[in-house]
Each structure stands twice: as structure tokens, then as C-alpha cells.
Amino acid sequence: MNYRKVIILFILFVSANSVFGQVNYFVPEYGVGVRGGATASWVSFSPSVAQSSTYGLQAGGVFRYVSAKYFGVQVEANFTQRGWTEQSDAYTYTRQLNYVEVPFLSHIYFGGKVFRWFFNLGPSVSYQISDNVESTVTNAQQKPRHTMAVKNRLDYAIAVGTGFEFNTKRAGIYQLEARYSFGLGDMFPNSATDDYRRSSNQNLSLCLGLLFNAGKR
């Protein structure tokens, strides 16, 4: 093998490694932190019920793993408040439902090391731990939903959110996210002989988050 062939092979080897490094070089990012904010919730009833949103809080912890450029996963454990409010000339009724929620989300982002715009999408499982009722409903005005206990405490939903984040390097990563949770389960019995064929939680949230990144960014 002459020197010319050796030089050509060396150049090809260096070039291939350079291209491979550019395509595959990514240091995984591990982030842990907290998030919290406000919720606006209602219940999708069938037959429909005239109602307005009830407002509450959401707070919890976050673990995020970014395994490749533009993609990662995010798991949370949250306390979240849901429910619904009915208002009329005759009465007001608010039922607040408190849940422990665990979303499993795909995390897709665009941007660089400092500023990113992201989407979160995935299933969410939650369990109702308590509720609170504020009501001026009289016995004559009562509807079945006003006195029924939640039968299905275990709930599940599809969550989709979007937001942006700013990496301060030393003081953590600050996030702002708006998210919609579309409930798939029914809290009340839903057979043909029951009062409601559908009674699923619907939830909007706006949360601030603070993450501390363990990987390079």
C-alpha cells in the first residue's frame, strides 16, 4: 500500500468520524424540579349541564430526560384541583375535586441551549383523594349529580401542552406552560339506566416551572 492510499484512507476516516460526530453528538440532559400554577376545570356531562369553570391550584414535581436532540420524556407527580360550577338565579353549586395526578409525556422542543419552545403530549393517570362542595341548592332543586358520590376515583386523560423555557445556566431553567387535559373516564356510573352517559373531567392549566439540569446544555 503506497503512501497516497494511506493518506486517502486517513482523510476518509477523519471525515467519516467528523460527520458521525456531528450527527450523533448529543449529551443527554437530566432535569428535576418543581412546577405550580392555576387550573380552570369543568365536567363534560351527557345529558349536558349548564355550568362554568371552577378554579383551583396545581403543584408538583417534575423529572425530565432528553435523550436526543429535540426529543425527550417528562414524568410528573402533581396535586391538582378539578370540578365544576353551576350558577343560576335559583342557586349556586360548586364541587371541587382533588386529585393526585401522574402524567407520562413526550417532550418535543425547538431552539438552542438558552431559549426553547416545547410541546408535551401523553397520557395521564390520576386518583381522586377528596372533594369539597359549596352549595345553596335546596332539596327541591337537587339533581342527581349534586348528591352522587364519585364512583370511579381512578381517572385517565390525554394531556397536551405547549410553552417556552429559559435556561439561566446557574439559576436553573424557568418554564411557562399552558396545558389541556382531556378526560377519558367517567366519574359517575354511565350505563344505559344511569342518569349520565358521560361525566368526564376537562382541565386547563397554566403553570410555572423551575428545573435543574444534571446534563450539559
The pLDDT tens digits of the residues spanning 60-77 come to 999 999 988 899 999 999
Does 22 fall in a domain? no
pLDDT tens digits for range 166-213: 999 888 999 999 999 999 999 999 888 889 999 999 999 999 999 997
Does 181 fall in a domain? yes
Does 2 fall in a domain? no
Give me the domain span that covers residue 57.
27-213
**How many other C-beta atoms are found inside a 10 Å radius of the C-beta of residue 117?**
12
Burial environment of residue 15 by CB neighbours within 10 A (0 to 12, 13 to 18, 19 or more): exposed
Share of the chain above pLDDT 70, in %: 87
Does 11 fall in a domain? no
Does 18 fall in a domain? no
Does 14 fall in a domain? no
CATH number at residue 108: 2.40.160.20
Nearest Cα residue to 169 out of 118, 208, 212: 212
Residue 37 vs residues 7, 21, 60, 79: alpha-carbon distances, Å: 61, 41, 10, 11
Q: Is the peptide bond before 47 cis (omega within 30 degrees of 0)?
A: yes
pTM: 0.82
Does 134 fall in a domain? yes
pLDDT tens digits for range 90-129: 899 999 999 999 999 999 999 988 999 999 999 999 999 9
Indicate the number of domains in the chain.
1
